[in-house]
Amino acid sequence: MSELPLPPWRRAAPKRPRAVKAPLTQDQIVDAGLRIVMVEGIEAVSMRRIAAVFDTGASSLYAHVANKDELLQLMFDRICGDVDVPEPEPDRWQEQIKEMARGGHAAMTRYNNIARAALATVPSGPNALRLSEGMLAVMLAGGVPPQVAAWSLDRLFLYIVADAYEASLHLQNLQEGQDSRHYFDTFITQLRDYYSSLPADRFPNIRAHAETLTTGSGDERFAFGLDMIVDGLARYVVS
């Protein structure tokens, strides 16, 4: 059937070029995931949620990320890239290890509970490997035997990740509008009062040292634990 001509009193609608979306990149997907984690936590990250950020379907993400697990690993690896890795200085090897550990801990705590992505797995992205290589190089240059350095790397990493993750769990208890400092002060006060109220005949030491047991900020306690781990390595050093 022939198409009818357009009446002269009507104007043809101009043909508008179809908007072409810029192709997604893996970096954009990782960026979106990290933004979600910062605000809502790792539980809120999903392929569908990320796709919604770009007004597209989840299937369009799979050309760049295999699944959610890979996305979380990519996000964690991005954070590892924020940590400075120095050239080994044998005379300062202990302080250099502590500097990298503090840097890794700070990077993880900046991104809510992202540390959970590193539990029960071995981060193997380029940035995570760069950090592992740097820590190994520093320990070996300081005279730590290879086997000791290898196990120490594993224990150090677990300590950093677990401490950062525990801190994020506390922050999830914040009430809307509540300041984190106020939350921790209240929590510590309640814990101290509880210890002080324990039966003296059953828990004499906890009750007597309730004040001492509840002193120190999270940063101070992390630094103390880091000192214990790293300073303890000194006894393994081969002169």
On whether residue 138 sits in a domain, the answer given is no
Please write the tens of the pLDDT for every residue from 83-132: 999 999 999 999 999 999 999 999 999 999 999 999 988 888 999 999 99
Per-residue pLDDT for 1 more than 60?
Answer: no
> Domain tally for the chain?
1
Report yes or no on 100 lying in a domain.
no
Least confident of 11-25, 66-80, 181-195, 218-232: 11-25
Is 96 within a domain? no
| Residue-range definition of the domain harbouring residue 194 | 176-222
Give which of 157, 183, 158 is closest to 169, Cα–Cα: 183
State what percent of residues in the chain have pLDDT above 70. 91
Q: How far apart are CA 26 and CA 137, in angstroms?
A: 30
Residues 61-73 have a mean pLDDT of 94
- 11-33 pLDDT, tens digit per residue, is 555 565 555 566 899 999 999 99
What is the Cα–Cα distance from 224 to 226, expressed in whole angstroms?
5
Report if residue 149 sits inside a domain: no
User: Please, what is the end-to-end C-alpha distance for the chain in angstroms?
Assistant: 95
DSSP code string of 122-168: ---SHHHHHHHHHHHHHHHHTT--HHHHHHHHHHHHHHHHHHHHHHH
What is the tens place of the pLDDT at every residue in 151-161?
A: 999 999 999 99
pLDDT digits (tens, 9 = 90+) for 37-46: 999 999 999 9
- Six-digit token string for 124: 């193997």
With contact defined as beta carbons under 8 Å apart, do 69 and 116 qualify?
Answer: no
Confirm whether 20 is domain-assigned: no
In a domain, 213, yes or no: yes
Residue 8 lies in a domain: no
* Residue 177 pLDDT > 80: no
Give the separation between CA 24 and CA 21, rounded to whole angstroms. Answer: 9
Better-scored residue on pLDDT, 23 or 35: 35
pTM, 2 dp: 0.85
Is 186 part of a structural domain of the chain? Answer: yes
Burial class of 184 by CB neighbour count within 10 A (0 to 12, 13 to 18, 19+): middle
* pLDDT score at 180: 84
